[in-house]
Amino acid sequence: MGLFKDAETFDTMLGGFFLRVAETPEVADKLLDSKLTIRFIYSDPEVVLFIDCSGDRVEVRSGDTDTKAEVEMTMSADIAHKFWFGKVNLTAALTRGQMKAKGPVPKILKLLPAIKPTYTMYPAYLEEKGYGEYNIY
């Protein structure tokens, strides 16, 4: 049993955070430069979030399993949650199979420095939106 009781909570919480990131120019501009489309497939609970950076603004779509994505990342909701605190060793998670990726992974790695500011945004967002119980780090 993971940290999250139901899909709705995780979907709203992380989806909302992605929308916050999409509205943060410091990060969003670099995401748009990449023109990537990424599908995050989460388990325990099962949630799908689609991030579309191919247009002139970053779009976040919940449950989009149809649109073709350049990259697909698969992981548990707990690992995803830990990642946005900056607490996941990405190389180890990928090597150990805790995260799986399909597509041009180097393009994802290139985004890592760009998303670094989000690690401090995430706990602040959780507190602000009433998800303080999940602010575990």
**Does residue 96 bind other proteins (CB under 8 A)?**
yes
Q: Are 16 and 129 in contact (CB under 8 A)?
A: yes
- Residues ≥6 apart with Cβ < 8 Å to 72: 38, 39, 41, 101, 102, 103
- Give whichever of 63 and 104 is closer to other proteins, judged by the CB atom: 104
The stretch among 7-15, 19-27, 35-43, 112-120 that binds other proteins (CB under 8 A) is: 112-120
**Interface with other proteins includes 113 (CB under 8 A)?**
yes
The one-letter code for the residue type at 38 is I
Single out the segment in contact with other proteins by CB under 8 A; choices: 45-53, 55-63, 91-99, 127-135. 91-99
11 residue type, one letter: D
**Contact between 75 and other proteins per CB under 8 A:** no
Cα separation, 40 vs 45, whole angstroms = 13
Distance between CA atoms of residues 13 and 107, nearest Å: 26
User: Using CB under 8 A, which of 9, 72, 93, 129 touches other proteins?
Assistant: 93
Beta bridge partners of 60: 51
Among 95, 124, 132, 137, the residue binding other proteins under the rule CB under 8 A is 95
Q: What residues make contact with other proteins under the rule CB under 8 A?
A: 86, 89-96, 101, 104-106, 109-110, 112-113, 116
